[in-house]
Amino acid sequence: MKKAEKAYKNLEFLNSHEARTIRILAEYLEPDKRFKTFDIKHTVVFFGSARIDPEKSPENIQKYYWAAEDFSFRLAEWSKELKKENDSFTICSGGGPGIMEAANRGASRANCHTIGLNISIPHEQEPNPYISKELSFEFHYFFMRKLWFLYHAKALVVFPGGFGTMDELFETLTLLQTKKMEKPDLQILLYDSKFWNSLINFQLLKDMGLISSDDTSLFHFFDSPEEGFNYIKPHLLDVIKNFKE
């Protein structure tokens, strides 16, 4: 009689409802192993629309792609200087097109490793060509992908985007506001103050008592890559310098 297949090699079982816990654990343990292998301790994470095309989008939308690419490049170039003396950081994105591609592209232009945390969804989410091959990931579960966005993050850079971008931004703000994520030094930068203030009336939320005055200090607006770089540089230097595992 032929031997039965071992449970951990049985794909029918591994893809079943009963094995969901194993799949969730795999999406924690496998990335954790790779991050340790490549000594990833600190990341700067870029969020933003997957629909922004650097050639086909209107010019007033294309500008976000190139601003993200420029900002990522500046950060990655500086990270190489940091690495000569102590810990550095790695640019991370959701791994797809649009702003995600721009972030990985800037880091790649600086000849740095760069992370792509992809997710299996029907549209708009194919790995962009600028992700480092050894740091390209594919997730099934959104919540595990979000865990890895934030686990090593020392700063989040949020460009204009749609539902996914709003979800990532507001979940992070809620985790900080409720102190369910103990990262008081995590910086959240929102690119294009005019866009964000026209989209969300933060002042109205504060005036109505729906958020506190302190809640608006959880994020910072910036309107150019140079401005963002000058703002975030001392913060990252301080956080990395004082980091304890």
Instruction: Report the pLDDT value the prediction gives residue 2, as an integer from 0 to 100.
Output: 85
Exposure string for 87-117, b = 16+ CB within 10 A, e = fewer: ebbbbbbbbbbbbbbbbbbbbbbbebbbbbb
At a CB cut-off of 8 Å and minimum separation 6, what does 125 contact? Answer: 50, 94, 95, 96, 118, 119
Is residue 22 predicted with pLDDT exceeding 90?
A: yes
Instruction: Say which amino acid occupies 163.
Output: F
CA distance 154 to 143: 19
Task: Sort residue 23 into left (φ over 0), alpha (ψ -120 to 50) or beta.
Answer: alpha
Percentage of the chain modeled with pLDDT above 90: 87
Instruction: Report the pLDDT value the prediction gives residue 190, as an integer from 0 to 100.
Output: 98
Instruction: Report the pLDDT value the prediction gives residue 240, as an integer from 0 to 100.
Output: 86
pLDDT band with cut points at 50, 70 and 90 for residue 3: confident
Mean pLDDT, rounded, for 153-161: 97
Percentage of the chain modeled with pLDDT above 70: 98
| 183: DSSP letter | -
* CATH architecture group of domain 42-240: 3-Layer(aba) Sandwich (3.40)
Roughly what angle, to the nearest 10 degrees, separates helices 163-177 and 142-151? 60
Is residue 86 predicted with pLDDT exceeding 80?
A: no
User: Which tokens hold the place of 144?
Assistant: 């595990």
Contact 108, 69 (CB under 8 A): no
pLDDT band with cut points at 50, 70 and 90 for residue 244: low
pLDDT tens sequence across 172-221: 999 999 999 988 889 999 999 999 999 999 999 999 999 998 999 999 99
Is residue 103 predicted with pLDDT exceeding 90?
A: yes
Q: Name the strand (E) or helix (H) holding 114.
A: strand 114-119
CA distance 239 to 245: 12
Is residue 123 predicted with pLDDT exceeding 90?
A: no
Instruction: Say which amino acid occupies 182.
Output: E
pLDDT band with cut points at 50, 70 and 90 for residue 107: very high
| 218: DSSP letter | G
The pLDDT mean for the chain works out to: 94
Tell me the whole-structure pTM to 2 decimals. Answer: 0.94
Instruction: Report the pLDDT value the prediction gives residue 245, as an integer from 0 to 100.
Output: 61
Mean pLDDT, rounded, for 125-154: 95
**What residue segments make up the domains of the chain, in order of their start?**
42-240
Instruction: Report the pLDDT value the prediction gives residue 124, as an integer from 0 to 100.
Output: 65
Greatest distance between any 2 Cα atoms in the chain: 75
At a CB cut-off of 8 Å and minimum separation 6, what does 238 contact? Answer: 185
CA distance 156 to 72: 12
For residue 32, give the nearest of 161, 148, 145 by alpha carbon: 148
Mean pLDDT, rounded, for 222-230: 98
